[in-house]
Amino acid sequence: MNSKILLILFFLIACYSAKSQNIENDSISYNLLKVLNSISDNGLMSGNVLVALDNEILFHHSFGLANYEWKIPNELDTKMEIGSISKQFTATLILKLNQEGLLELNKPIGQYLPELSSELGEKITSHQLLSHTSGLARRIWFGPEEQKINHTDSENIQQINSMDILFEPGSNFSYSNTGYYLLHLIAESVSGEKFEHLLENKLLKPARLNNTGLINQFSVIEHMASGYSISLGKPIQPEFRDISNIIGAGGMYSTTGDLFLWDQALRNYQIIDSIQTEKLFTENRNGYSYGWRVKNFSNDSNNPNRRLQHNGDGNGFSSNFTRYIESNFVVIILGNHDDINRSLILTYIIRTLNNQPVRAIKVIANKYYQKLIGENIDFEDIIKKLENDLDRKEAADNPNYMDFFQQGARLYRTGKVNDALNFFEFLTYLAPNHYLAYFALGQHYMQINDRENAKKFLLLSLERKPDDQNIKNLLKETEAHKK
């Protein structure tokens, strides 16, 4: 995103100040619906989208199916898993407990979790867990099969104690679901209540979020969408994992309407006071505050123009929550398959609201390769076929690296590990000098506990992008993970 985004405020204020406000809003809705329908028709959106300005909803619409088996359409009150958007609820709860005097953010967490090893408990603080500066690994290292099992908190802590920290706490940044898992245990420890009850009584009820909660694998949630993975252009069931192993870092569901109410509750200090809210929104390291990614578009420290944003990924769900604090502009995207193109949707919304043209959606070059791979054509034969194919120039000259990364990741999540690795290996042929294919190979070898190959490909990735901290952190994890 660039500075053109800032034009959105002026355009929308003009619409609101016009006498023909209803006509303007109808026009906005019509234009947004036209653009988003084109994205949905190309399989890049299934779910709900909400756009709001100055505490008023400009656009709220459903796309695609909540359940593919029964062809049930999504509706505005359809609930979706929100993945890492859950982190902002965990962060707000911790700040609420801090406001109530039940915990201190800069105290060693061993005071609240005595089961942690002294190496972790005496060095790490709640502030560092909230800001991803603790040095803890990205996730608790269980193998793919073990992720399907409900582990006890004691088992999870034992596993965390067996892993070395990546760096001295507070000295660097590394995104850590493990840290947010520990935060939920800290909340329970200092309050004497279960995390689910804390969420309900301290956050959800005061904000009137009647369609938001913690997912329980054994409960039936009314109006809950089914989540899907997309494999070779078709919806399939995602690989199962027990969501209880990531409480605090993920595991919640909500609706677009409820998340808009959540935006209002934070904006109006209904949950935490202004001092705590400022902590929630203040950048620490690497553009991250507490549960939010933060970017300030203003160079004037007295007049900030902050965007708070977070993606969420779950079992076949994909979401984005974007808030412009000073401009009071909100976009919420909740989708129920993992091929939702969130950045494209957000960009097209902003360009449409600014009366800027958007490109027609077309099948990208990677879909061409995907089709060939789906036909089980050997990679060597694909190269020969491309030499005589009319699509060769576009496909070969314009590979979409991130799309390859995402498609390979989806194959992995659906249990097609070898297909995923082949996808990344093919990308190294298309773009041998690009870091992302090697990073993807390294990441996925890590996830199947093949640390030797993980290290090999991560080093190749680092050669191509020497200053990338994510690659360096993952390399450290190849050494930190103890069997």
pLDDT, residue 373, reads: 53
pLDDT at 364: 45
pLDDT band at 145 (very low <50, low <70, confident <90, very high): low
Give the model's pLDDT for residue 180: 98
Question: What stretch of H or E contains 294?
Answer: strand 293-296
User: Is residue 10 predicted with pLDDT exceeding 50?
Assistant: no
**Over residues 61-80, mean pLDDT:** 97
303: pLDDT strictly greater than 70? yes
pLDDT at 69 > cutoff 90: yes
Query: Per residue in 404-440, pLDDT tens?
Result: 676 677 676 666 777 777 778 777 777 788 888 898 8
Question: Which residues neighbour 206 within 8 Å (Cβ) at sequence distance 6 or greater?
Answer: 265, 270, 271
Partnered with residue 335 across adjacent β-strands are: 47, 318
**How is residue 109 annotated by DSSP?**
G
pLDDT for residue 404: 65
Instruction: Retrieve residue 130's tokens.
Output: 């909230």
Residue 400's pLDDT is 56
User: What is the pLDDT at residue 396?
Assistant: 41
- The pLDDT assigned to 97 comes to 98
Question: Which tens digit of pLDDT belongs to each residue from 192-225?
Answer: 999 999 999 999 999 999 999 999 878 899 999 9
Q: Does domain 400-480 have CATH number 3.10.580.10?
A: no
Mean of pLDDT values over 104-127:
97
Give me the sheet containing 47-53, strands edge to edge. Answer: 56-63, 47-53, 329-335, 318-324, 306-313, 293-296
The CATH classification of domain 81-353, taken from the options 3.40.190.10, 3.40.605.10, 3.40.710.10, 2.40.110.20: 3.40.710.10
Residue 394 has pLDDT above 50, yes or no: no
pLDDT at residue 144 is higher than 70:
no
Least confident interval from 51-60, 101-110, 143-152, 467-476: 143-152
* More confident of the two residues 358 and 309: 309
Supply the pLDDT for residue 421: 77
Maximum pairwise Cα distance, the chain: 70
Checking if the pLDDT of 344 tops 60, the result is yes
The average pLDDT across 272-279 equals 98
Q: Give me the pLDDT at residue 141, please.
A: 65
What pLDDT shows up at residue 341? Answer: 84
Q: Does the pLDDT value for residue 186 go beyond 50?
A: yes
Taking Cα atoms as reference points, which of 240, 254, 253, 227 lies closest to residue 68?
227
What's residue 220's pLDDT?
Answer: 92
pLDDT, tens only, 229-258: 876 667 888 877 777 788 999 999 999 999
Q: What confidence score (pLDDT) does residue 369 get?
A: 55
Least confident residue range of 14-18, 48-52, 144-148, 399-403: 14-18
Which position has the higher pLDDT, 445 or 161? 161
Q: pLDDT value at position 21?
A: 38
Average pLDDT of 148-153? 81
pLDDT of 98 reads: 98
Calculate mean pLDDT across residues 107-122.
97
81-353 and 400-480: identical CATH topology:
no
Long-range contact pairs involving 317-321 (C-beta distance under 8 Å, separation at least 24): 317/80, 317/81, 317/82, 317/83, 317/225, 317/227, 318/83, 318/342, 319/47, 319/80, 319/81, 319/82, 319/83, 319/85, 320/345, 320/346, 321/82, 321/85, 321/88, 321/259
Average pLDDT, the chain: 84
Closest by Cα among 131, 276, 139 to 203: 276
pLDDT band at 321 (very low <50, low <70, confident <90, very high): very high
Q: Where are the domains of the chain?
A: 81-353, 400-480
**pLDDT(348) > 70:** yes
The average pLDDT across 52-77 equals: 96
The predicted structure's pLDDT at residue 386: 52
Q: What is the mean pLDDT of residues 275-300?
A: 96
What's residue 387's pLDDT? 52
Name beta bridge partners: 81.
253
- What is the pLDDT at residue 371? 57
Report pLDDT for 13: 37
Q: Indicate left, alpha or beta for 324 from its phi (over 0: left) and psi (-120 to 50: alpha).
A: beta
Q: Which range among 55-59, 186-190, 369-373 shows the weakest confidence by mean pLDDT?
A: 369-373
Neighbours of 386 (CB within 10 A): 16
User: The whole model's pTM is what?
Assistant: 0.82
